Amino acid sequence: MDEKGGAVPAVSTRRLTRSLAALTLLGLSGGAVHAQSSVTLYGSLDGGLRNLVNGTKAGGAALSMASNGVYNSNRWGFEGKEDIGGGYYVRFNLEAGYVLSTGANNNTNNQIFQRTSTVGFGGPFGRIDMGRQFTLQHYLIKDFEPFDFHYLSITESTAVSGGDTGRDSNGINYRGIFGPWVIRGTYAPGGVAGSVANGSTLAGGVNYRGETIKLGAGYTHRSNPLSATSSQYFSNDQYTAGGTVTVGPVDVMSGYSLDLQDVPASVHSMTRNQYLWGGVRYQVTSFFNVTAAYYDNKNKTNGLDGRKDVAILGVVYLLSKRTELYADVDYTHFTGVYVTNATLNASGHEKQTGISFGINHWF
């Protein structure tokens, strides 16, 4: 009815309906326009030298600049986040590595963002990221890794992390923080036609973060393809646990990881990799810290033993909030079949002593 009590014409009704629909759409688009979003460019530049005694087959010292950084990995990336309301958000992360000394991309498989390539969402329930990313093991041991994943070419952190240089492709990673507890889970499909398990990864873990004590434990199962063309696969199980105790400026930490893998050649034998590590981190002042650590890896394959022991002492001095000077001295001892393992020990010498120093800047 109109103001005079008459019927409202049908044309006016349609116009009113269209106007309400337009206002509704305008309101929805206005909410999207006002959603908070941000994109951050970040990176790290590490310029360091390393001298390794017995670093060549002839027994001489090898002085080099690491292709991907001595103390920290050279990388650049984008990280974006959009707040979609109600405590929920959408995020992405693209990260690539590069060689500081030449400016070349640090990849051998034509992967631009070979370090990280993820998109995900989060909220009160936690966060889910999908794509190429660090393994669950990497995130798990961060709370009790003495050097916090620095000096990766020297320590055993990458080996303990597992995966492809500490990463999973096709990964679906969940992290939920509930008070002092962090719940973790990962599933990575193998992408092999005709088999759900072949090439897949399944992992779960938990971290506890108290004021003075941090603890963590996790399990990872991988179904590794026997070959690129085979439908068969062999299992790989890894069990990890560790913790940190903080007393004032001092952190004391240790960890243990056991990796059991079927030998691909027979699938009836077993490779046993045991990792044990411990360390002390002392924050002397707000701009100077000292870290000492020991890493031990024992391997047994088909009755043959190999062992690698690494002792390392490192210091870091902050020149500013984003620039630091670093130096380390380390000693590595190979025994058993590890002495002649060209992948682990290119020089073939049992004992090696290294000294590194340089500058690292991040933005």
Residue-averaged pLDDT of the chain: 88
CA distance 53 to 37: 51
pLDDT digits (tens, 9 = 90+) for 325-350: 999 999 999 999 999 998 899 899 99
Q: What digits encode the pLDDT tens for the residues 119-139?
A: 999 999 999 999 999 999 999
- pLDDT computed for residue 230 by the predictor: 65
In this predicted model, what pLDDT tens digit does every residue of 59-110 receive, in sequence order? Answer: 878 888 877 889 999 999 999 999 999 999 999 999 999 999 888 888 767 7
> Whole-model pTM?
0.85
Cβ neighbours for 152, distance < 8 A, ≥ 6 positions apart: 73, 158
Q: Distances in Å between the alpha carbon of 53 and those of 151, 153, 221?
A: 17, 15, 38
Conformation bin of residue 159: beta by default, left when phi > 0, alpha when psi is -120 to 50: alpha
DSSP state at residue 263: -
Q: Is the dihedral of CA 125, 130, 134, 137 positive or negative?
A: positive
**Structural domains in the chain, sorted by start:** 48-71+99-362 (2.40.160.10)
Sequence-distant (≥ 6) Cβ neighbours of residue 273 within 8 angstroms:
159, 258, 259, 260, 261, 297, 298, 299
Q: Specify the pLDDT at position 153.
A: 93
Q: Which of 232-236, 263-267, 348-352 has the lowest average pLDDT? A: 263-267
Residue 24: is its pLDDT beyond 90? Answer: no
CA 341 to chain centre: 26
Query: Given this model, what pLDDT does residue 262 score?
Result: 84
Write out the H or E segment, with its range, that includes residue 18.
helix 10-33
Tokens of 54: 């017995």
Q: pLDDT tens digit string along 137-173?
A: 999 999 999 999 999 999 999 999 999 999 999 999 9
